């Protein structure tokens, strides 16, 4: 397995920041992490699996190691075990990277296999913060491992094999096959009449066939779905509607899920209108109109560090004559992949759903058989049960948070005296990030935009900082004087 190494340049900054070994079997992850760290003057070495990473670490001792969990040859679990056996490497700080970090990250840290954990996809600010916190501090993995063994705790599970194709992957394959069948059917029905009408010779049929295939692209075929739905005289008519005050929207969605309904749920709330597209009782796509634009797709693409803010702004300013969604336009330009778009759409759909659950006043109406082309293309198929569980948890927390944080326009300032008395290591990485952006002039909305984090997470951290007296609300007169 080839090992790649690179530096930030010849100006000496790389030596000041340290060397980071990145071990991940995904080339995209390795490349992206290297770009982020090199921009901060770190020297970066990369390897495609644990075995190659171990060899590289032995050859050149890094100052910190970022390692994936599931990899071929030697996975993250096996790599961390081997690292503990090495006298020279057992004190190197190790950070686990995994999409399953909520489940295994804490176990890795508690059992001395890692010093910290990052959830994929992670944000550049979080990556930089965790490295700044770890580099230069010897690892205590050996001590923690001894403590865990002394308490008789079972070690975390090792990934024995790659998981089988997910339901989403199987659905994507089935959709691709269905599109090909549809394309073939339309081609066979259209080519003959077209040739006869235009009087095409046999030698011209190939060119006509290529032209039809070009026109029958995926976008066009998916647009046929809502267009053909118009053949149903009942399509688009609301099958039920009501007021949120009479029946909470969460209970309405429970009914939709239980009956496996397909269509669009339109919810009118406090100056906002949400549309949740459903298929078989699952959420395929969500849209929210109105407000400050915190739920726009571009925000999530930037939050995931997939595109630069200026790229999103430029695309938003450029009118598309065909009305192509911004995500599809970014894919066409090669700025993001289809999987990148899916991740952003999923985050957007979840956040809109959680936002709607907070509404205590408004109207809802469900229209069956309405399937937008974009929703059909996204086909997120997010189970409503999981959204409701997380959403209700957030609603409960929001009620507590809103007692202190009245709105996104509020301005907070740091409390220097309380911060000076704070013991080292008290704050989490996320708390330090938010605290750094509390300036006395930035509103809550400003902080959310600057950090590119979920509004709920930012407000939750601000609430904790308020509870710890590390920040305080600016007086109205002072805040007004800043504007």
317 pLDDT higher than 60: yes
- pLDDT of res. 283: 95
388 pLDDT higher than 60: yes
pLDDT tens readout for residues 155-186: 554 444 334 445 554 555 556 556 656 666 67
- pLDDT of res. 471: 92
316 pLDDT higher than 90: no
- pLDDT of res. 56: 92
- pLDDT of res. 374: 84
Query: pTM here?
Result: 0.47
- pLDDT of res. 478: 40
Which pair of structure tokens corresponds to residue 116? 């910290």
pLDDT tens readout for residues 126-155: 888 889 888 888 777 767 655 655 555 555
- pLDDT of res. 234: 44
Average of pLDDT values for 380-397?
89
Average of pLDDT values for 361-372?
85
Tell me the domain boundaries of the chain: 3-150, 169-216, 240-397, 412-482
Phi, psi of 367 (to 5 degrees): -115, 115
Domain 3-150 shares a fold with domain 412-482: no
% of the chain residues with pLDDT over 90: 21
- pLDDT of res. 28: 66
237 pLDDT higher than 60: no
**By mean pLDDT, which of 87-91, 336-340, 397-401 is the weakest?**
397-401
Bridge partners of residue 106, in order along the sequence: none
pLDDT tens readout for residues 27-73: 767 877 887 888 788 999 999 889 999 999 999 999 999 998 878 77
6 pLDDT higher than 60: no
- pLDDT of res. 157: 47
- pLDDT of res. 159: 44
Query: Residue 369: which residues within 8 A CB-CB, separation 6 or more?
Result: 229, 232, 234, 235, 236, 262, 263
232 pLDDT higher than 60: no
Which pair of structure tokens corresponds to residue 22? 């990145």
**By mean pLDDT, which of 151-160, 189-198, 321-330 is the weakest?**
151-160
Edge-to-edge strands, sheet with 273-279: 240-243, 363-368, 263-268, 273-279, 282-289, 382-383
pLDDT band at 7 (very low <50, low <70, confident <90, very high): low
- pLDDT of res. 14: 40
CATH architecture of 412-482: Orthogonal Bundle (1.10)
% of the chain residues with pLDDT over 70: 79
Evaluated on CA atoms 388, 391, 392, 393, the torsion sign reads positive
pLDDT tens readout for residues 73-124: 788 888 988 998 888 898 899 999 887 666 677 778 887 788 888 887 677 7
- pLDDT of res. 430: 82
Average of pLDDT values for 190-200?
85
pLDDT band at 394 (very low <50, low <70, confident <90, very high): confident
Chain mean pLDDT for the chain? 79
**By mean pLDDT, which of 175-179, 247-251, 294-298 is the weakest?**
175-179
Reduced 3-state DSSP string for the chain: CCEEEECCCCCCHHHHHCEEEEECCCHHHHHHHHHHHHCCCCEEEEECCHHHHHHHHHHCCCCEEEEECCCCCCCHHHHHHHHHHCCCCCCCCEEEEECCHHHHHHHHHHCCCCCEEEECCCCHHHHHHHHHHHCCCCCCHHHHHHHHHHCCCCCCCCCCCCCCCCHHHHHHHHHHHHHHHHHHHHHHHHHHHHHHHHCCCHHHHHHHHHHHHHHCCHHHHHHHHHHHHCCCCCCCCCCEEEECCCCCHHHHHHHHHHCCCCEEEEEECCCCEEEEEEECCEEEEEEEECCCCCCCHHHHHHHCCCCCHHHHHHHHHCCCCCCCCHHHHHHHCCCCCHHHHHHHHHHHHHHHHHHHHCCCCCEEEEEECCCCHHHHHHCCCEEHHHHHHHHHHHHHHHHHHCCCCCCCCCEEEECHHHHHCCCCCCCCHHHHHHHHCCCCCCEHHHHHHHHCCCHHHHHHHHHHHHHCCCEEECCHHHHHHHC
Bridge partners of residue 286, in order along the sequence: 276
3 pLDDT higher than 70: no
Selected residue with higher pLDDT from 482 and 287: 287
Phi, psi of 24 (to 5 degrees): -160, 140
pLDDT tens readout for residues 262-279: 999 999 887 788 999 999
- pLDDT of res. 27: 73
Structural class in CATH, domain 3-150:
alpha beta
- Among 86, 94, 98, 88, which Cα is nearest to 115's? 94
- pLDDT of res. 54: 93
- pLDDT of res. 183: 65
Strands 19-23 and 3-6, sheet pairing: unpaired
pLDDT band at 341 (very low <50, low <70, confident <90, very high): very high
Average of pLDDT values for 388-401?
86
Phi, psi of 150 (to 5 degrees): -65, -30
- pLDDT of res. 291: 65
**By mean pLDDT, which of 221-225, 338-342, 408-412 is the weakest?**
221-225
């Amino acid at each position: 397995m080839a090992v790649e190494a690179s530096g930030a340049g010849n100006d000496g900054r790389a030596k000041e920041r340290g060397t980071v070994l990145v071990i991940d079997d995904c080339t995209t992850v390795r490349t992206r992490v290297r770009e982020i760290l090199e921009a901060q003057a770190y020297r970066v070495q990369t390897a495609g699996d644990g075995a190659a990473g171990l060899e590289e670490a032995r050859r050149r001792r890094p100052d910190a190691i970022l390692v994936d969990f599931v990899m071929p040859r030697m996975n993250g679990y096996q790599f961390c075990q081997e690292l503990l056996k090495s006298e020279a490497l057992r004190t190197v700080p190790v950070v686990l990277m995994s999409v399953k970090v909520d489940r295994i990250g804490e176990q890795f840290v508690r059992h001395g296999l890692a010093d910290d954990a990052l959830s994929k996809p992670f944000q550049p600010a979080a990556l930089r913060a965790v490295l700044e916190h770890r580099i230069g501090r010897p690892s205590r993995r050996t001590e923690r491992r001894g403590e865990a063994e002394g308490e008789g705790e079972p070690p975390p599970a090792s990934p024995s094999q790659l998981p089988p194709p997910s339901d989403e992957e199987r659905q994507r394959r089935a959709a691709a096959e269905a599109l090909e069948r549809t394309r073939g059917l339309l081609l066979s029905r259209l080519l003959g009449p077209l040739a006869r009408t235009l009087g095409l010779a046999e030698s011209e049929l190939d060119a006509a066939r290529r032209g039809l295939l070009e026109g029958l692209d995926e976008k066009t075929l998916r647009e046929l779905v809502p267009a053909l739905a118009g053949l149903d005289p009942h399509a688009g008519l609301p099958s039920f509607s009501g007021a949120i005050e009479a029946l909470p929207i969460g209970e309405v969605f429970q009914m939709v899920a239980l009956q496996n309904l397909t269509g669009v749920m339109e919810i009118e709330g406090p100056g906002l209108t949400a549309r949740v597209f459903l298929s078989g009782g699952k959420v395929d796509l969500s849209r929210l109109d109105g407000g400050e634009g915190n739920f726009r797709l571009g925000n999530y693409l930037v939050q995931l560090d997939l595109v630069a803010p200026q790229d999103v702004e430029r695309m938003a300013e450029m009118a598309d004559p065909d009305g192509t969604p911004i995500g599809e336009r970014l894919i066409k330009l090669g700025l993001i992949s289809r999987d990148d778009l899916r991740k952003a759409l999923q985050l957007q759909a979840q956040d809109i759903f959680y936002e709607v659950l907070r509404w205590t006043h408004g109207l809802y109406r469900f229209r069956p058989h309405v399937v937008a082309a974009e929703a059909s293309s996204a086909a997120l198929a997010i189970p409503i049960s999981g959204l409701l569980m997380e959403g209700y948890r957030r609603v409960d927390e929001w009620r507590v948070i809103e007692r202190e944080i009245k709105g996104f326009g509020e301005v907070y300032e740091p409390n220097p005296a309380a911060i000076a008395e704070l013991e080292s290591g008290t704050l989490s990485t996320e708390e330090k990030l938010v605290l750094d952006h509390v300036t006395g002039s930035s509103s809550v909305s400003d902080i959310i935009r600057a950090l590119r984090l979920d509004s709920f997470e930012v407000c939750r951290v601000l609430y904790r900082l308020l509870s710890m007296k590390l920040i305080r609300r600016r007086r109205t007169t002072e805040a007004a004087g800043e504007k």
